Structure 1
Amino acid sequence: MCGICCAVSAPAWRSAVDVCVSETLRRRGPCCSREITKTAADLSYCCRFSAHVLHMRGQLTPQPVEDQGGNVLLWNGEVFGGLAVGQEENDSQVLARHLSNCQRPGEILSVLSRVRGPWALVYYQAAQRCLWFGRDFFGRRSLLWRCVAQERSLVLSSVAPALPGSADAQWQEVPAVGVYRMSLGEFADPGSLPLEVFPWMYPDDVPPPLSHEFQWEGLSGWPSVVMNDSGLFLPAPVCPLNRAVADAPPGAGHAITPQPSAAELDSLLESAEKRKVVDQLIAVLSEAVRRRVQCLPCEGELSNPRTPAMSKPPGENADIAVLFSGGIDSVVLAALADRHVPVGKTIDLLNVAFKVQEPKSQKGATKKPKSHKLKAPNASTGPVEPVGSGSFDVPDRVTGRASLKELQALNPDRRWNFVEINVTREELQEMRQKKIGHLVYPLDTVLDDSIGCAMWFAARGVGVATEGMEQRAYTSAAKVVLTGIGADEQLGGYSRHRARFQSAGLEGLVQELAMELGRISSRNLGRDDRIIGDHGKEARFPFLDEDVVSFLNRLPVWEKAALSLPRGVGEKVLLRRAARALGLGPSATLPKRAIQFGSRIAKLENRRENASDRCARLHTT
């Protein structure tokens, strides 16, 4: 993973990257930094490329990558398939080599459409004097842009702070609808600058008209985004969603009301056909996890320059961490990671809790003695309350501990570090002001604030680990963080899915799921990449692996969600069946609980806010 930035301007303006932008980018890529400047011979434009690398695979490769032809690549991504990458190779080198052989736009698109994995890139074609940039089909990596017409400047960056001033000077997320190409030869012209888009499309989609103009928020008409005049597009890396509802089996839309239980899920596995689908899901999701937990540098190369060295026995430093609430998504990911991480290696389970306001003690109540507090390294506030402290016994902490026992029963030989990350209101407010508000930006709702803060503290990994009766301060050094994002969107996990099913049946549910996956880049993934990447760690999303999404898209909706069944069974029913097949117990029937409620951050401040409200706390940064 990397923090990448490209600033393009007419040389007279020499658009500079803000110091705060550079520092935030450097936090994403602490292993090495480099800059390259390209100025046209006729002085029509100047491009400044900056990259900060987090070393993840192969040989450490500084970026930007420049070839003999003067082409420059900024790459923030992972190639998990589509292009052959040797075990000792770095994927940025491989991609740069493929792109160097491209002359025509169709060849560029052919290379990018073959990549399987998350990415955001900027690519300068020297001979053609053009700039390509964009994000993968799901938008799993952040890329922002800021366009200022009066300065004739365009800046692209993985992350950027909020700026004072008019709306046209603000940053916006680059829409993950395709790849963009800008002809730099026209950059200094006083008129409108066309920005061609090459959209992601399914084979049966009808292409937009060639003259079709896109109105992007934040561009204010300069540059003007238009469909490319050649009609080229990138084929979607996943198959279209199965929208069939006519052949639903009897009972698919009728209520069944037994209490949620693991035994009920077992009864749903009795059908050979059902078991076959479950086994297929386990196989494709297990492979997605394998791609994301293997092919890492050796243990000595995994150290993060920003993480303090800690004296630990060999194998205790975890390479892999899971954002772990104890819910169905995170438990299944942990169980599958256990298949592919060597037995001698630790897996960190990161569990975050925000301090619950304790009720005032009644008169005459016996005052309990204060518990001994542990000092955790890297925590700005220092003290962390020990395990079992009631003020941090939020729902996700309780389910996390219970699900930990299930994982330990599945593999007693695995060392599972259950990291209890305890956050006080004071530390939350401090870190939101210093860092988190800038990382959530340009998103700005109450929901973005709650999720962004919870994920930032969880991914930081500063907390307390427990072994038996022993408690010790612990900081996770894992550079790979697995997260369950994408499971709810595809498997009907949200309460709004149940409401839509109840009001509009299976057809309404299909429409809701299609919308969920279509907007996941703008609602979740850019924000989450910025949040987790701030710690010099990389977010990986197994549920959004292209093969996993294609498998789920092919299934009829009633195989994925049975919302006539009660909570804890009906939502994500296919994943719950898979959990039982993997040997998991009560965690397979835990109802969906969003991180902002499970961690109790939503109860810490203004309880009367709506999730979609503009969050005033984010605008005081």
Structure 2
Amino acid sequence: MCGIALIVSGVRIDLSSLLPDFASQLTEALKPVEHSKFSVEGLKEALQRRGPDHLGSKKLFLQIKNESFLNVEQVSEMVMSTDTTITSSYDVEQDNGIDGINSVAELNFFGAELQLRGISPVFQPLVDASGNILVYNGEIFGGLHVDNDCNDAEILVRALGKCCSCTYQGRKSACCCVEKEEISVPQLLSTIRGPWGLIYWQDRSKTLWFGRDAFGRRSLLVHWPTLDDPRLMLSSVSPSPDTNENFDSGAEDLVSGINFWEELSCGIYSICFNASETKECLVGEFKKHEWTDPLLSELIKWERSDVEPKGIIPPSVSLPVHKVLNVLRESVIRRTILNTVFQEIKHETRVETFVPIAVLFSGGLDSMILAALLDLCLDPSYDIDLLNVSFDGQSAPDRISSRAGMKELQRIAPSRRWNLVEIDHELSNLISETKHVMSLIYPSNTYMDLNIGIALWLAAGGDGWVEKDNHQRVKYKSEAKILLVGSGADEQCAGYSRYRTKYRSGGWLGLHKEMKLDMQRIWKRNLGRDDRCISDNGKEARFPFLDEDVIKTLLDIPLWEVADLEQAAGKGDKKILREVAQLLGLEAAAFLPKRAIQFGSRIARESNRKNFGSNRAANQASAGSVLKPSVKTSASQRGQRSFRFKLASDKDTGPA
């Protein structure tokens, strides 16, 4: 799956529980949208460019009908209700001439399907016999059973169709459906293991459910209703605004989109639709629901029982390392089992030309571990693509380490065919591409976000060169749909250099606090941005280090076994992963220092030269936002924002 979206209009959604100053906007909530920067066609175009197997949409109209216009059958179904009811209709044009209709609200669902599971074509949005609608972007690796020949979205819509219509957050004593042995939607979603974002319409309760997994491994952006645009919009993509395609003249409108979207906080949300007291419009009651799985709640809190050693740190033992190796191997297996859809392709294509899985590859510790584990999990008849991006040709640090890394992989797995895909670019030539990536990284807006986004986007595209046995480089484009990414390793194992600074100033407790902060905000700072940049190429990012079992295992290990920052860089940071690498036979990779993609690929250096004249000037300017606000507003002005931005030019020398 590679994209979902929803546009809700004609409803007054009460968000006062989320936004305290929202009540004053309710009177304007049904105002028509005349000049929105984001349209239905814009969303469709953003979803379509990802190369899905299928892009579909479904319109749902909600109508309030007075009892006097209902027939006998309809009245009998409303014995316990008020004198109004909400009815649903699909894919029909609004008919304002129908007697008895006081309000018509429109919900427009979109689903772009990149099918990686199941043997029969799947077309989203999925609509079941009861009128429930699902658009789903994710993978189910546990919690619900999915056979190799089944599609997880189809399994999920069936399971959701059996859920009760209550919104009591899993408290069975308050649930009116407990006697039917039904579970609630939050209970079901809390069982899923794996990355997901979804939008689900439960017809019998007239409730809209939406959310993303507890760690935010799939993107889901939201536009809460404002006076400027009173629609509720959800989207896994951040489409460019409807503006002139010229990069310079359209820049101000382009970057104003950062004020429109925000990352949806991880969790499960519902909006229950009811008739207003005057029966003249629909009102949506907004709720956020708690996770019902105790384990999931524990992982979100990210507390470690053994943080600070008592006395002298005990010698390392091998048991924790073997636990981490085993759980990482299982995580990679779950993410790389080739379902029936791939087996069909294998029969139709020569084995040597079909490469189903690639690794985002720097030759560093994390990507080397993933590549080595993938070799253990994947049928040896398949090639593995190693995607490496450079903005300084063969001189970039990541290019040098990737070449050395491939030699080490060839040493431990000589029967595997490894394709090091060298993706070379010059930043000065990426004008239109930079504009596009800026729209993908929104609402992130710093030069660091842009540099990382460009590097990820180009790497996921897989368009580069490979070196043949005769040492000649030939053009090559990776067609692998699944891309393994090492996100989460640094946050959980103290890989960043600033962790050493925190350890020196705050000791073990200070280190743990900083790591916890990063894990609890990784959805906002990293994962949504990365998912959008990678999936824009029709690829699906999978994050083995962020598997629920991996997180739990690492948390159960004393912090001093995970990292020992008294030791030198390249040894004490990510200590336990370095020991895992040694168990895998990766001798050189086990001692490589951490190097972020923006530095290893040299895009940060080239970006600093382009935008600030030099690295030194960029550092002095703190290389801040690519967007420079001229007007600041407070949170209370949310509904009438007047931010105006411009692209930071070569003459900009300070942060936003």
Quick one: distance in 1 between partners of 2:58 and 2:272? 19
Q: Contact conserved, 1:148 with 1:168, CA < 8 A, in 2?
A: no
Trace 1:351-430 onto structure 2 (pairs within 5 A). 351-355=388-392, 391-430=393-432
Quick one: distance in 2 between partners of 1:557 and 1:334? 26
Change beyond 3 A, Cα 1:102–1:313: closer
- Kindly state the Cα deviation for residue 52 of structure 1 after the two structures are TM-superposed: 0.9
Trace 1:425-444 onto structure 2 (pairs within 5 A). 425-433=427-435, 435-444=436-445
Quick one: distance in 1 between partners of 2:486 and 2:345? 23
Aligned Cα root-mean-square deviation (Å)? 2.7
Corresponding residue of 2:317: 274
Is 1:183 matched with 2:183?
no
| Aligned-partner residue type, residue 180 of structure 1 | Y
Change beyond 3 A, Cα 1:503–1:410: same
Trace 1:7-46 onto structure 2 (pairs within 5 A). 7-10=7-10, 13=32, 17-28=39-50, 30-42=52-64, 43-46=103-106
Trace 1:244-323 onto structure 2 (pairs within 5 A). 244-248=306-310, 250-251=312-313, 274-299=317-342, 313-323=350-360
Quick one: distance in 2 between partners of 1:539 and 1:203? 27
Q: Contact conserved, 1:7 with 1:153, CA < 8 A, in 2?
A: yes
Corresponding residue of 2:118: 58
Quick one: distance in 1 between partners of 2:274 and 2:438? 37
Corresponding residue of 2:177: none
The Cα offsets for residues 383-403 of structure 1, whole Å up to 9 and x where unpaired, read as: xxxxxxxx4320000000001
Is 1:49 matched with 2:127?
no
Change beyond 3 A, Cα 1:548–1:168: closer
Q: Contact conserved, 1:7 with 1:17, CA < 8 A, in 2?
A: no
Trace 1:73-472 onto structure 2 (pairs within 5 A). 73-103=134-164, 104-105=166-167, 106=170, 107-150=184-227, 151-161=229-239, 163=241, 164=253, 170-176=260-266, 178-185=267-274, 194-200=285-291, 203=294, 235=297, 240-248=302-310, 250-251=312-313, 274-299=317-342, 313-355=350-392, 391-433=393-435, 435-468=436-469, 469-472=471-474
Corresponding residue of 2:618: 609
| Aligned-partner residue type, residue 231 of structure 2 | S
- Kindly state the Cα deviation for residue 190 of structure 1 after the two structures are TM-superposed: 7.7
SS state at 1:79 partner? coil
Quick one: distance in 2 between partners of 1:169 and 1:10? 22
Corresponding residue of 1:596: 598
State the aligned residue count.
Answer: 529
Change beyond 3 A, Cα 1:289–1:578: same
The Cα offsets for residues 83-115 of structure 1, whole Å up to 9 and x where unpaired, read as: 111111100011101100112233111110000
Change beyond 3 A, Cα 1:462–1:312: farther
Quick one: distance in 1 between partners of 2:258 and 2:548? 35
| Aligned-partner residue type, residue 455 of structure 2 | A
Change beyond 3 A, Cα 1:553–1:443: same
Corresponding residue of 1:265: none
| Aligned-partner residue type, residue 289 of structure 2 | F
- Kindly state the Cα deviation for residue 145 of structure 1 after the two structures are TM-superposed: 1.1
- Kindly state the Cα deviation for residue 62 of structure 1 after the two structures are TM-superposed: 0.8
Quick one: distance in 1 between partners of 2:297 and 2:577? 28
| Structure 2: gaps of 5 or more residues | 12-29, 65-102, 171-183, 242-252, 609-614, 629-644, 649-656
Trace 1:511-522 onto structure 2 (pairs within 5 A). 511-522=513-524
| Aligned-partner residue type, residue 133 of structure 1 | F
| Aligned-partner residue type, residue 387 of structure 2 | L
- Kindly state the Cα deviation for residue 499 of structure 1 after the two structures are TM-superposed: 0.5
Corresponding residue of 2:477: 475
Trace 1:487-566 onto structure 2 (pairs within 5 A). 487-566=489-568
Q: Contact conserved, 1:328 with 1:579, CA < 8 A, in 2?
A: yes
Quick one: distance in 2 between partners of 1:189 and 1:459? 50
Change beyond 3 A, Cα 1:395–1:50: same
| Aligned-partner residue type, residue 306 of structure 2 | A
Quick one: distance in 1 between partners of 2:344 and 2:263? 32
Change beyond 3 A, Cα 1:125–1:89: same
- Kindly state the Cα deviation for residue 545 of structure 1 after the two structures are TM-superposed: 0.3
The Cα offsets for residues 179-210 of structure 1, whole Å up to 9 and x where unpaired, read as: 11112225897898542111348859xxxxxx
Quick one: distance in 2 between partners of 1:38 and 1:31? 23
After alignment, is 610-619 or 151-160 more displaced? 610-619
- Kindly state the Cα deviation for residue 155 of structure 1 after the two structures are TM-superposed: 0.9
| Aligned-partner residue type, residue 450 of structure 1 | N
Change beyond 3 A, Cα 1:302–1:3: farther
| Structure 1: gaps of 5 or more residues | 205-233, 253-270, 304-310, 356-390
Q: Contact conserved, 1:428 with 1:453, CA < 8 A, in 2?
A: no
Change beyond 3 A, Cα 1:501–1:243: farther
Q: Contact conserved, 1:563 with 1:571, CA < 8 A, in 2?
A: yes
- Kindly state the Cα deviation for residue 244 of structure 1 after the two structures are TM-superposed: 2.9
SS state at 2:431 partner? helix
Which one has the largest radius of gyration?
A: 2
The Cα offsets for residues 255-274 of structure 1, whole Å up to 9 and x where unpaired, read as: xxxxxxxxxxxxxxxx7x62
**TM-score, normalisation: structure 2:** 0.76
Quick one: distance in 2 between partners of 1:441 and 1:245? 36
Corresponding residue of 2:130: 69
Q: Contact conserved, 1:292 with 1:542, CA < 8 A, in 2?
A: yes
- Kindly state the Cα deviation for residue 160 of structure 1 after the two structures are TM-superposed: 1.8
Corresponding residue of 2:91: none
**TM-score, normalisation: structure 1:** 0.80
| Aligned-partner residue type, residue 528 of structure 2 | G
Change beyond 3 A, Cα 1:95–1:191: closer
The Cα offsets for residues 485-544 of structure 1, whole Å up to 9 and x where unpaired, read as: 000000000011010001111110111111110000000000000000000000000000
- Kindly state the Cα deviation for residue 556 of structure 1 after the two structures are TM-superposed: 1.3
SS state at 2:430 partner? helix
SS state at 2:618 partner? coil
Quick one: distance in 2 between partners of 1:329 and 1:203? 29
Q: Contact conserved, 2:275 with 2:283, CA < 8 A, in 1?
A: no
Change beyond 3 A, Cα 1:117–1:402: same
Q: Contact conserved, 2:140 with 2:192, CA < 8 A, in 1?
A: yes
The Cα offsets for residues 101-156 of structure 1, whole Å up to 9 and x where unpaired, read as: 11223311111000000000001111111111111000000011113334531011
Corresponding residue of 2:24: none
Q: Contact conserved, 1:201 with 1:236, CA < 8 A, in 2?
A: no
| Aligned-partner residue type, residue 147 of structure 1 | W
